[in-house]
Amino acid sequence: MNIQVTEDPIVYFNKQFVPLSEARVNVLTHALNYGTAVFEGIRGYWNAEQDELFLLRPVEHYDRWKGNCGIIRIGVGAPSAKLAEITAELIRKNHFTTDVYVRPLAYKSAERIGIAPDDQDAFTIVVIPFGSYIDSTRGLQAGVTSWRRIQDNAIPARGKISGAYVNSVLASDEVRRNGYDEAIFLNESGHVSEGASCNLFMVRKGRLITPSVTENVLEGVTRAAIMELARRELKLEVVERPIDRSELYVADEVFFTGTAVEVAPIIGVDRRPVGSGQPGPVTSELRRLYQDATRGRMPSYRSWLTPVYHPAALDRVA
């Protein structure tokens, strides 16, 4: 799904709050020509009963973003807590009272030809209204792409490095042209890695299994949240290990997780039904728990949430 920005929201660009229409870069910008940028994705959820918008783990997301920026030596001077406050101020300036998606982007900003990077860095933060990334209510059909997942010693997959997402674009384009909703990558070892823009879990013989971070996966914040919910709320054993492609064919359940996709059931892989061919009970329960936790309906997870409009709102979470 492509989310179009139809208004002209206020964004943070060049250390100022400006309309999106004024946030422009030169066509010779290093990041545009060579993919030298790192982005992040953060969700914010509107709770109408509390008249509050909750940012989901913003400091944790910004910590990851800054760490990943270091991989290609992009400096972001602001502390993560300050970045979270800038994000909250953007939401207030735009008067958003709906679910939102936050897109921070740090990039090499030199305007020239030449691949060698320098220390000219910049960053921007954009917040837009954002509903469902993809309608996964009835489950998704996934296909294993012929494109292999990028390797850590080529372009590290654990960070959202912009140039690396050509890998995901190729995979996504291939499987959609073949009639699937989403791609599943294998790594160079032939093991399951992740989706084109999301992590992957399977349920097999009563255990929740996901590829380890050494299988060239993004170190997902949502991935970690689902693992915590599975252990604490469902008392499931969670295992990180290699997954063979054929295991997906015999799994009881398979699902994607990610900031944009949230929790998305997979009901078929390579035109083979997963389990009953319907969203499974573990997936459905984790989906419900995640929705409740991220919308301020579970007091045990209030530490995940940063209220935007009323800082004392967490005291009223019920």
Do 192 and 219 sit in the same domain of this protein? Answer: yes
Give yes or no for residue 312 having a pLDDT over 90: no
Q: Where residue 68 sits, what CATH number does that domain have?
A: 3.30.470.10
Q: Where residue 255 sits, what CATH number does that domain have?
A: 3.20.10.10
Do 163 and 242 contact (CB within 8 A), yes or no?
no
Q: Is residue 2 situated within a structural domain?
A: no
Integer Cα distance of 66 and 77 in angstroms: 9
Could you say which DSSP state residue 150 is in?
Answer: P
Q: Is residue 309 situated within a structural domain?
A: no
Do 147 and 284 sit in the same domain of this protein? Answer: yes
Give the model confidence (pLDDT) of 163-186 as tens digits.
999 999 999 999 999 999 999 999
Do 304 and 294 contact (CB within 8 A), yes or no?
yes
Element (H, E) at 202: strand 199-204
**82 is a catalytic site residue:** no
Nearest residue to 1 (alpha-carbon basis) of 101, 94, 95: 101
Do 254 and 274 sit in the same domain of this protein? Answer: yes
Give yes or no for residue 6 having a pLDDT over 60: no
Do 145 and 83 sit in the same domain of this protein? Answer: no
Give the residue from 129, 156, 190 where a domain finishes.
129
Q: What is the pLDDT of residue 316?
A: 45
Domain, as residue range, for 255: 140-294
Q: Which whole number is the average pLDDT over 266-276?
A: 97
Q: Is residue 277 situated within a structural domain?
A: yes
Give yes or no for residue 5 having a pLDDT over 70: no
Strand-pairing partners, residue 173, are: none
Share of the chain above pLDDT 70, in %: 96
Mode of pairing for the β-strands spanning 140-148 and 262-269: parallel
Do 184 and 214 sit in the same domain of this protein? Answer: yes
Do 147 and 285 sit in the same domain of this protein? Answer: yes
Do 168 and 23 sit in the same domain of this protein? Answer: no
Q: What is the DSSP string of 170-190?
A: HHHHHHHHTT-SEEEEE-TTS
Give the model confidence (pLDDT) of 220-264 as tens digits.
999 999 999 999 999 999 999 999 999 999 999 999 999 999 999
Do 119 and 252 sit in the same domain of this protein? Answer: no
Under 8 Å CB-to-CB from 175, ≥6 apart: which residues? 142, 143, 145, 181, 182, 183, 196
Do 150 and 278 sit in the same domain of this protein? Answer: yes
Give the model confidence (pLDDT) of 296-305 as tens digits.
999 999 999 9
Do 144 and 123 sit in the same domain of this protein? Answer: no
Give yes or no for residue 205 having a pLDDT over 90: yes
Give yes or no for residue 67 having a pLDDT over 60: yes
Give yes or no for residue 3 having a pLDDT over 80: no
**Among residues 15, 82, 160, 235, which one is catalytic?**
160
Q: Which two tokens stand for residue 10?
A: 């206020």
Element (H, E) at 119: none
Give the residue from 103, 129, 155 where a domain finishes.
129
Nearest residue to 73 (alpha-carbon basis) of 119, 25, 122: 119
Q: Which whole number is the average pLDDT over 110-138?
A: 93
Nearest residue to 154 (alpha-carbon basis) of 35, 41, 243, 40: 35
Total domains in the chain come to 2
Do 121 and 31 sit in the same domain of this protein? Answer: yes
Q: Residues in the chain, how many?
A: 318
21-25, 196-200, 302-306, 312-316: range with lowest mean pLDDT: 312-316
Q: Which whole number is the average pLDDT over 122-151?
A: 94
